[in-house]
Chains A and B, each alone.
Chain A
Amino acid sequence: MTDLPLLSGRALARNYRLGTEMVCALRGVDIDISRGDFMALKGPSGSGKTTLINLLGLLDTPDAGELMLEGMNTQGLSENMRADLRRRHFGFVFQTFNLVPVLSAAENVAYPMTLDRRSDREAAVRARELLAAVGLADKAEQRPDLLSGGQRQRVAIARALANEPEVVFADEPTANLDSKTADMILDLMQTLNRERGVAFVFATHDPRVVERAQRVINLHDGRVEQP
């Protein structure tokens, strides 16, 4: 059982309708993600990186192929079951941070835990621990609009780790950050990967991210490009 990859996608395909045309965003991709991975999905715009991350993170459903999570086929799951699986197994970091503006940094981090029915007190304690781990212990009460881009992304990383996920999906996490901040964020993610064993899957075309990745998958026109 332990030899099974955490996530295993086979012949994943996804089409989108763009006006009157159908666009093939993914054309039969095979991919495995294991615990502790630190991998990058690389490719030019429109290569299918974000589409693949959306499928792997159960944010979207494939038109063809199958996706197994710890050996369980995710096809046909209800919206509620997919939401529960996302909450318990995955974390997400977005290019535009996507913090809830009416919540403080600590409340943003605590929110996924309250969704998981943890007590407010437990969630608050863990949120502060996570903020301390990303170096923002002193910003716990700040609202997102008072934080810098780098600080917001660190709050987003802390939030992604809230429910102790096995994988964090990060879609272009450094795109809106300057070089120095981007390096700091990547250092942080590497540390978390190393110390907590959390797998990170990046969709990126940032060479700094690709350089640090243990594994890189090249995508082109919705297919995995063989090296």
Chain B
Amino acid sequence: MNPLTLAWRNVARNRRRSLLTGGILAFGFASFTLSAGFMAQSFHGLRDSTIRSGIGHLQFADARTFTQSEDAPLQFGLKDADAIMATIAKDPAVRVVMPRLEFMGLITARARSVPFVGVGVDPLAEKTGTDIPTTISAGRWLDDNGRALVLGTGLARTLNVSVGDGVTLLATTPEGTLNAVDAVVTGLADVHFKELNDRYLAAPLALAQQLLDAPGTVSKISVVLHATGHEAETAQRLTTVLGGNLAVRSWEQLAQFYNQVKMLYIGIFGFMSIVLMVVVFLASVNTTLMTVTERTREIGTLRALGARPRVVLTNFVLEGTVLGLAASAAGALLSLLISAGLNASAIEMPPPPGVTRGIPIHVQFFALAYVSAALAMTLTSVVASYFPARRAARISIVEALTHV
């Protein structure tokens, strides 16, 4: 008789109990995979939104930009930006090159002045490489109009301006003089990160360069690739070609917020997984203990017939294995059904940390989580079977045969 067949029959012998324990294992499996799928989707979404927030896959800048603070605006700016961008754009992995000129100053409308955090951009490149143009809630994104501005809705609210209103921008030039330009608000963007939304300003690169009196200069160059995951080799290739004092950073090195959220999620998920495993383990141990007690006389009989203690141990461990595998299969099915239901439900989740808008729930199919959960549940069931089974294997035959 195949030992697995015997194990399966013994598992099926007490259907109610096996269903209960298998149900706990399947529920554990589904909880694990659903959490992992939701987390993977959250990471995926957060990664994409981080990359498309303007950081890009790669950022090129003067090496000092990444290690020192500027004493004056554009102290570490790239003065020959056009030539660098042209070289970068030739790389086959590159989708779009986005010059960025970061600056700060005051925006004035009517009698009110508010500090802003501005970025001078190439409107078309920004439309391709970031999500910011899609967050326009009023008016339109930057276009050919050289005096156009897009403000964060929070900044516009504070400044009490709307689309079509004229404003004046004031900023300090690299030489330390105060400069001002007039502009028109053509769009309002609902920037996801609230703190940024309250200060955000986007201007055409030429207007920003005019304000800072720094023609042809940018702070950094963001690069969006055709696909995520090719950052390292592309960076290496481009660094070799570009040379000079340029330094490159990947989005993972720059996205501190993403990394913090990721660690937080992993911590929560890890803690929940441990709690889940303990519950599943205790339920499985309880089941095997009950099974061993119920089958004590049978264990005595098998031992009397000449079964070595290891045979008894193996039988119970195999039962744990069979139960773990069957429960994993049921758990996988349950998880897929719940995932499909949740993904179709379009339930809105609360905004993740630092984001102003909620996102529809989506559970990603995460194959590694399914494999890990199957291993974890089966191993838990096996380990939970092992100790009661070892006790069963060592039981006195005479006592077992007279067990009532």
Enumerate chain A interface residues (CB-CB to B < 8 A). Answer: 54, 57, 59-60, 79-80, 83-84, 86-88, 92, 94, 96, 98, 100-103, 107, 110-112, 114-116, 120, 159, 163
User: Which of B10, B306, B398 meets A102, CB within 8 Å?
Assistant: B10
Q: Using Cβ atoms and an 8 Å threshold, which residues of chain A touch B297?
A: 96, 98
Q: Using Cβ atoms and an 8 Å threshold, which residues of chain A touch B310?
A: 80
Once the chains are docked, how many angstroms separate the CA of A111 from the CA of B397? 18
Q: Is B264 an interface residue (CB 8 A)?
A: no
User: Which of B9, B12, B301, B307 meets A83, CB within 8 Å?
Assistant: B307
**Given A59-B401, A60-B398, A98-B298; A87-B305 close (CB under 8 Å):** yes
Determine whether the beta carbon of A59 is less than 8 Å from that of B301.
Answer: no
Q: Using Cβ atoms and an 8 Å threshold, which residues of chain A touch B6?
A: 102-103
State the total of A-B contacts with C-beta under 8 angstroms. Answer: 71
Of residues 273 through 317 on chain B, the ones whose CB sits less than 8 Å from some CB of chain A are 297-298, 300-311
Interface residues on B, range: 20 to 34
Q: B103-147: contact bitstring with A at CB < 8 Å (1 yes, 0 no)?
A: 000000000000000000000000000000000000000000000
Q: Using Cβ atoms and an 8 Å threshold, which residues of chain B touch A103?
A: 1, 6, 9
- Min Cβ gap A2→B in Å is 25
Kindly report which residue of chain B lies nearest to residue A162, judged by CB atoms.
B305
Q: Is B13 an interface residue (CB 8 A)?
A: yes
User: Which of B2, B301, B304, B396 meets A57, CB within 8 Å?
Assistant: B304
Q: Give me 19 other A-B pairs in contact (C-beta within 8 A), A60-B398, A88-B306, A159-B305 excluded.
A: A57-B304, A59-B303, A59-B398, A83-B303, A83-B307, A84-B306, A87-B307, A92-B301, A94-B401, A98-B297, A98-B300, A98-B301, A102-B9, A103-B1, A111-B302, A112-B305, A115-B306, A115-B307, A115-B311
CB-defined A-B contacts under 8 Å, sample of 24: A57-B304, A59-B303, A59-B304, A59-B397, A59-B401, A60-B398, A79-B308, A83-B309, A92-B301, A94-B301, A98-B300, A100-B301, A101-B13, A102-B9, A103-B1, A107-B1, A111-B1, A111-B302, A112-B305, A114-B1, A115-B311, A120-B1, A120-B2, A163-B306
Once the chains are docked, how many angstroms separate the CA of A115 from the CA of B307? 6
